[in-house]
Structure 1
Amino acid sequence: MAGTPEFDLYRPAEEHDLLRQSVRALAEAKIAPFAAEVDEQARFPQEALDALVASDLHAVHVPEEFGGAGADALATVIVIEEVARVCASSSLLPAVNKLGSMPVILSASKELKERCLTPLARGEGQFSYCLSEPDAGSDAGGMKTRAVRDGDAYVLNGVKRWITNAGVSDFYTVMAVTDPEKGTRGGISAFVVEKEDEGLSFGAPERKLGIKGSPTREVYFDNVRVPASRMIGEEGTGFATAMRTLDHTRITIAAQAVGIAQGALDYAKGYVRERKQFGKPVGDFQGVQFMLADMAMKLEAARQLTYAAAAKSERDEPDLTFFGAAAKCYASDAAMEITTDAVQLLGGYGYTRDYPVERMMRDAKITQIYEGTNQVQRLVMARNLP
């Protein structure tokens, strides 16, 4: 089967294997040592950002013409997967940089791309994505943030909620209503708001179950004046751009889930080989072996589906919407099951913060929720059956 066109669509090439090796080495040396502290103190993983920027791994998806690596979708997935294996919070650095900048890549003018993507590629500015609101989560089309034309600019007013890396990022892709009468069919537009824009402010960090090192805040727009040149695409195309973006970036959440699950499985495997009960390693018991087998099976299925979806993303294929939703949904469900089983395999120790699997279990939960709950993913899949 290895030679069939279908398999070659997403089989990692030699350069992907080399990339994995280099990212894993960096993650274990420069990110893993701080993962527990970042979680315990709920602080931004600055060490991870510095390491990723120094190795040009913070935004590998940026096209070469804007100073980026121009990496394909699978390479981006591998970077996120390997960082998430040791620290889920840190994996959101490259993941959210792609989420925030993808609308610009898909729809913006060349001038706007140069303004935003060039500093992103250099590590001089991060991106966030502002879609959700207090009353518009799964129903993103119900947003209330307004953008009113005023001469050669638009004036934005409203609130966005659950914004990852808010307050840290320098660029914010913001969806706002420009024509209330048209709704999602031409009434929503996309803009790039910059951190220094007057009237932009941020709420207090949310107190979360997991990914504590990734700040999540509300973003407030109080008469924020944005030049019309910072509109992404044409007026009224914002919602379509937002949905296209999620088709591509849900795969990064799948990658994060795969990485978290891999980290939990790796730790559990090592533990049951060393932990002895009844005179022999716990891993010698058939019940434990079956648990590990199921964990590994689900993980590999999630990985292959994620890589297949990455190939669809790279080629922007018609069935990407289905595959992106399927990868995100399956991988996150698998990660929740695998991390929970890892805690079980460590017994009482797994329930303590002295071991990393309880953090991984908490971190895995959000992958079932953000960028569209898994209930919404199932709706998306049902409406886009191949």
Structure 2
Amino acid sequence: MDFALTDEQKEFQKLARDFARNEIRPVAHIYDDTEEVPWDVIKKAAKLGLTSYRYPVEYGGLGISDPITSLIMTEEIYWGCAGIGTAINGTGLAATGIMVAGTEEQKKKFIPQFCDPDNPRLGAMGLTEPSAGSDVSAMATTAVKDGNEYVLNGTKQFITNGGIADVHVIFAQTDKEKGWNGVAAFVVEKGTPGLKMGKKEIKMGVRASHTAQVILEDCRIPLENRLGGEPGEPTHISGLAALKMLERTRPSVGAAALGIARAAYEYSLEYAKERKQFGKPIIKNQAIAFKLADMATEIEAARLLLWKAGWLVKNNQPFARGEGSMSKLYAGDVAVKTATEAIQILGGYGYSREYPVEKWLRDAKIYQIWEGTAEIQRLVISRMIEQNG
């Protein structure tokens, strides 16, 4: 067991940390106020390979496949700003769906679009619906085969990059009677008639990331845009299988939450060292010191859970006890708790928008909700330990 980072991991950690410090932090408050897509930052990230490093070289990426390296970089980027981090990394959900379920032809067509350093394109994954979040079996969006096309109808809710993405990966029911097994994934390209953006959400946090409804009205796409091809073809992978494989991305969501937690901890630690009350720095007060001790301990524990999950992915081991869900669940809870305690340490200043800690709490809360709520993660874990101990 070796916790030392490799030279390559240190290099990429520094790249991401410097970018977060120099390019993300100085403008984070601006995009938090305006809730606009941070295109200038996305373009700079693309130039450095921060939008494409995890994709294979043959599709234009940097070929960094080590999941722990990816977790390290995600933590650093989101230490800068979770909203801008999501704007940079949100495309990864659609790309992962294509990498997991797509045919070679589909990968060659779509993945290079996400790797273009001069003209970065956005991806979106459409899974959640107004009446179907964690319960995918209640999905109402349909895909009906009609000759050489599929016709998609339905509404997707709370979609990152929804309606503005160049490539939407949409999950839909092809056969309602089959339940989960009737779910398939389809690529819908920008400009396709019948694809439009619904309401753009005005959010509590991660406000630099665009979130909106995606509406599909008699949206026609060619048969070749069904990910994995048609059932019965040698390349076919079901939408259900793709969804199960996407569970392996949960640690990266946890790494983003960890970045927020670390940002809040570091800021409140420095504040506690400098702020004086009754003639001494407030860190000398046990009430404050113990809060910081708990923060430091929980951040360290969250990182170890994440790296363990990354190690399992790297070694093609299953999440037999729900380790992916454990890492996402714990990191999300730690982010919310750490940001809350940071505000408490700063007192009135923590509640003021002049200081960044209130933003970190607003950003942190979503990590107990999206990509599977904290309750769903506990459900997954409880079922896994019931089976496997």
TM-score range, shorter chain: over 0.9
Distance in 2 of aligned mates of 1:96 and 1:289: 36
The partner residue of 2:85 within 74, 85, 91 is 91
1:211 counterpart = 2:212: no
Distance in 2 of aligned mates of 1:193 and 1:73: 28
Runs of 4+ more than 4 Å apart: none
Residue 103 of structure 1, CA deviation: 1.5
1:225 counterpart = 2:226: no
1:152 counterpart = 2:148: yes
Does the 8 Å CA contact 2:309/2:319 hold for their aligned counterparts?
A: no
1:14 counterpart = 2:15: no
Distance in 2 of aligned mates of 1:94 and 1:17: 21
* Partner of residue 21, structure 2: 28
Residue 133 of structure 1, CA deviation: 0.4
Residue 168 of structure 1, CA deviation: 3.1
Q: 1:86 to 1:301 in 2, by over 3 A?
A: same
Structure 1 residue matching 2:180: 3-state secondary structure:
coil
The partner residue of 1:60 within 48, 53, 58 is 53
Once the two structures are superposed, the pairs formed by residues 37-186 of structure 1 within 5 Å of their partners are 37-71=30-64, 72-123=66-117, 124-185=120-181
Q: Which amino acid aligns with 2:112?
A: T
Distance in 2 of aligned mates of 1:121 and 1:78: 20
Residue 297 of structure 1, CA deviation: 0.3
Structure 1 residue matching 2:8: 3-state secondary structure:
helix
Deviation string, structure 1 residues 125-178 (Cα, Å, up to 9, x no partner)? 121111010110110121010101111221101100010121332111110011
Q: 1:13 to 1:333 in 2, by over 3 A?
A: same
- Between stretches 159-168 and 372-381, larger displacement belongs to 159-168
Q: Which amino acid aligns with 1:228?
A: L
Q: 1:321 to 1:152 in 2, by over 3 A?
A: farther
Q: 1:121 to 1:168 in 2, by over 3 A?
A: same
Distance in 2 of aligned mates of 1:220 and 1:315: 39
Distance in 2 of aligned mates of 1:363 and 1:192: 30
Distance in 1 of aligned mates of 2:88 and 2:252: 9
Distance in 2 of aligned mates of 1:147 and 1:192: 12
Distance in 2 of aligned mates of 1:279 and 1:47: 46
Structure 1 residue matching 2:178: 3-state secondary structure:
coil
Structure 2 residue matching 1:208: 3-state secondary structure:
coil
Q: Which amino acid aligns with 1:244?
A: M
| Structure 1 alignment gaps of length 5 or more | 1-6
* Partner of residue 337, structure 2: 337
- Between stretches 66-75 and 227-236, larger displacement belongs to 227-236
Residue 94 of structure 1, CA deviation: 4.2
Q: Which amino acid aligns with 2:145?
A: R
Residue 243 of structure 1, CA deviation: 2.4
1:267 counterpart = 2:262: no
Does the 8 Å CA contact 2:153/2:219 hold for their aligned counterparts?
A: yes
- Between stretches 352-361 and 272-281, larger displacement belongs to 272-281
- Between stretches 48-57 and 233-242, larger displacement belongs to 233-242
Distance in 2 of aligned mates of 1:174 and 1:320: 28
Across the two proteins, how many residue pairs are aligned to each other? 377
Deviation string, structure 1 residues 199-246 (Cα, Å, up to 9, x no partner)? 10001311111111111100001111111111111457112211211x
Distance in 2 of aligned mates of 1:224 and 1:93: 26
Distance in 2 of aligned mates of 1:358 and 1:302: 21
Q: Which amino acid aligns with 1:308?
A: K
Distance in 2 of aligned mates of 1:320 and 1:110: 30
Does the 8 Å CA contact 2:37/2:87 hold for their aligned counterparts?
A: no
Q: Which amino acid aligns with 2:150?
A: Y
| TM-score, length-scaled by structure 2 | 0.94
Does the 8 Å CA contact 1:19/1:75 hold for their aligned counterparts?
A: yes
The root-mean-square deviation of aligned C-alpha atoms, in Å, is 1.5
Distance in 2 of aligned mates of 1:222 and 1:161: 15
Does the 8 Å CA contact 1:128/1:173 hold for their aligned counterparts?
A: yes
Q: Which amino acid aligns with 2:75?
A: E
* Partner of residue 372, structure 2: 372
1:243 counterpart = 2:238: no
Deviation string, structure 1 residues 271-307 (Cα, Å, up to 9, x no partner)? 1111111011111212211110100000010011111
Does the 8 Å CA contact 1:30/1:47 hold for their aligned counterparts?
A: no
Deviation string, structure 1 residues 245-278 (Cα, Å, up to 9, x no partner)? 1x12211110110000011011111111111110
Structure 2 residue matching 1:58: 3-state secondary structure:
coil
| Structure 2 alignment gaps of length 5 or more | 232-237
Does the 8 Å CA contact 1:190/1:231 hold for their aligned counterparts?
A: yes
Does the 8 Å CA contact 2:193/2:220 hold for their aligned counterparts?
A: yes
Q: 1:32 to 1:74 in 2, by over 3 A?
A: same
Distance in 2 of aligned mates of 1:354 and 1:265: 17
Structure 2 residue matching 1:203: 3-state secondary structure:
strand
| TM-score, length-scaled by structure 1 | 0.94
Distance in 2 of aligned mates of 1:28 and 1:18: 15
Distance in 2 of aligned mates of 1:323 and 1:166: 29
Q: Which amino acid aligns with 2:79?
A: R
1:198 counterpart = 2:193: yes
